[in-house]
Structure 1
Amino acid sequence: MTTPDHQSPAPQPPDPAPRDRVYRSPGGIAGGVLLLALVAWLGIDAVVSGEGRTPWMALAALLLLVPLVAAFTVRPAVFAGEDRLRVRNPFRVVVLPWGQVAALRSGYTNEVVAASGAKYQLWAVPVSLRARKKAARREARRTAAGDGHGGGRGGRGGRGGVSGLFGGALQGLFGSAGAGTGAAAVPDGPVRAETDRIMDDLRALHEAREKEAAAQGEVTVRWAYEVVGPAVAGAVLLAVLLAVG
């Protein structure tokens, strides 16, 4: 009597690669959409209702302005993957394996520095000095509130009765530090501006992946001909129309 052969388990499909983290500027996108709508409205109106060379001038201006506005507002993005950092700037796309990234710097602009010393600005992660000052003020208020709250407990821990009753009532009414949620409501770490938090995330990913074999390779830079080509064609056509007069 024979026993049936045991079938080997079917091979499991490989786990899908994690998706890249995408960072973009919401303010830049909103402003770009408004500018594109305005340019399109004025240009189409000139093409439809213009006379003589006006429609051709409007078409040339549209061919020049639309790619440039889109390039500086809607196009910029930063894609952070497990093995590489892809930076899509207005006129170039730069791909840097994490092993080729020397540093991620934040000053008046955010930039990535390659191992060769080349620097590439992160247009999609603009620096906001106003947001930094606002975050610094919030951090200072949080620190002061935490110190004051701790000192109040230490110096007045034994007080109660009417003072404790009115103190608790005032805290509940005005939402002062420590009311209701206590220390659990305080976020971990210092208060940071949004773009500074993004740079912190990129630095953490860089430190975690820079030594991996899959994160090695060469830096590649590609010009955005889909932006440069139409813009140059529009500029040439506009110059010819103006020269012909």
Structure 2
Amino acid sequence: MTTPEHESPAPQPPAPESQDRVHRSSAGIAAGVLLLALALWLGFDAMVTGHGPTPWRALAAMLLVVPLVIAFTLRPAVFVDRDRLRIRNPFRIIVLPWGQVAALRSGYSNEVVAASGTKYQLWALPVSLRARKRAARQEAKAAAAGAREAQDGGGARGGAFGLGGRRGVLGGGGGLGGRGVAAGRSASGPLRAETDQIMADLRELHEARSGAESAQGEVSVRWAWEIAGPALAGAVLLLILWAIG
């Protein structure tokens, strides 16, 4: 039995494409589910038990309200991969290659600025001033705990007893503001609110990938007619029903 001298290597499977990381607002999703349940319950109840034009008005109101609730609560999301940033806002989908992103800003809202100067708000990453204040308080507690631990450590080097015993209870044991708080610290900086940390990660990815060849291209914006269409139809039908009495 003979074998060929040179066997061609087996073809390698293509490298899997990187999957998008998806960022969404858990509070928005929870509020959307509750609002949808309430709207559907009231609407179907009016359609079943109502008389005269009431069922038609309830149907028109549901056509208007349900898409709007979905648009502002369940729909917003930010999809991130190595080559682009895709933003799904209530009524638009914006795709920005990293090469077209000029800046990512955080103030009273989170937004991305394209190279053309156009600003797009990130609806899926709302700013929480309460979360920022909480993170600032935890950072202050962590800094104070670190200072106490350093001070106790200096005392421990001065003798085998005295403050060395206290360090074993307060410093080495972690306490309330030691390891437990510092464990949430970002590797690149201080403690941040959740959406602020996501924005910091997006800035790092933008800096790393903005010059990559695969991260170039044009910005695309598409209107979400699947949301706007039913809502507009419901509004028109509701106006007609109210006009004819």
Inter-CA distance 151–165: structure 2 relative to 1 (3 Å threshold)? closer
CA distance in 1: counterparts of 2:114 and 2:23, whole angstroms? 19
CA distance in 1: counterparts of 2:168 and 2:3, whole angstroms? 78
Inter-CA distance 66–5: structure 2 relative to 1 (3 Å threshold)? same
CA distance in 1: counterparts of 2:177 and 2:198, whole angstroms? 28
Question: Could you say what secondary structure the match of 2:157 adopts?
Answer: coil
Inter-CA distance 84–40: structure 2 relative to 1 (3 Å threshold)? same
CA distance in 1: counterparts of 2:225 and 2:26, whole angstroms? 25
Inter-CA distance 211–143: structure 2 relative to 1 (3 Å threshold)? same
- 1:85 equivalent in structure 2: 85
Inter-CA distance 186–149: structure 2 relative to 1 (3 Å threshold)? farther
Tell me the TM-score normalised to structure 2 length.
Answer: 0.91
CA distance in 2: counterparts of 1:176 and 1:228, whole angstroms? 50
Question: Could you say what secondary structure the match of 2:95 adopts?
Answer: strand
Alpha-carbon displacement from aligned partner over 1:80-113 (angstroms, at most 9, x marks no partner): 1111100000000000010000000000000000
Alpha-carbon displacement from aligned partner over 1:165-224 (angstroms, at most 9, x marks no partner): 46645668892555xx69985744311100011001111111111101111111011000
Alpha-carbon displacement from aligned partner over 1:31-82 (angstroms, at most 9, x marks no partner): 0000000000000111111111111000000000000000000000000111
1:49 paired to 2:49? yes
- 2:154 equivalent in structure 1: 154
1:109 paired to 2:106? no
Question: Could you say what secondary structure the match of 1:157 adopts?
Answer: helix
Q: Is the contact made by 1:23 and 1:79 (CA closer than 8 Å) also made in structure 2? A: yes
Matched positions, count: 243
Question: Could you say what secondary structure the match of 1:16 adopts?
Answer: coil
- 2:95 equivalent in structure 1: 95
- 1:238 equivalent in structure 2: 238
Q: Is the contact made by 2:156 and 2:163 (CA closer than 8 Å) also made in structure 1? A: no
Question: Could you say what secondary structure the match of 1:30 adopts?
Answer: helix
Question: Could you say what secondary structure the match of 2:158 adopts?
Answer: coil
Q: Is the contact made by 2:97 and 2:215 (CA closer than 8 Å) also made in structure 1? A: yes
Inter-CA distance 176–53: structure 2 relative to 1 (3 Å threshold)? closer
What amino acid maps onto 1:70 in structure 2? I
Inter-CA distance 65–183: structure 2 relative to 1 (3 Å threshold)? closer
- 1:75 equivalent in structure 2: 75
CA distance in 2: counterparts of 1:219 and 1:184, whole angstroms? 40
CA distance in 2: counterparts of 1:226 and 1:168, whole angstroms? 62
Inter-CA distance 186–58: structure 2 relative to 1 (3 Å threshold)? closer
Measured after TM superposition, the shift of residue 155 of structure 1 is 4.0
- 2:210 equivalent in structure 1: 210
Say what the alpha-carbon RMSD is for the aligned residues: 2.4
Q: Is the contact made by 1:35 and 1:69 (CA closer than 8 Å) also made in structure 2? A: yes
Measured after TM superposition, the shift of residue 157 of structure 1 is 3.3
Measured after TM superposition, the shift of residue 10 of structure 1 is 1.7
Question: Could you say what secondary structure the match of 1:35 adopts?
Answer: helix
Percent identity, aligned pairs only?
A: 66
Inter-CA distance 16–156: structure 2 relative to 1 (3 Å threshold)? closer
Q: Is the contact made by 1:149 and 1:177 (CA closer than 8 Å) also made in structure 2? A: no
Stretch of structure 1 that moved more, 10-19 or 115-124: 10-19
1:20 paired to 2:37? no
1:65 paired to 2:76? no
Question: Unpaired runs of 5+ in structure 2?
Answer: none
CA distance in 2: counterparts of 1:172 and 1:153, whole angstroms? 10
Question: Unpaired runs of 5+ in structure 1?
Answer: none
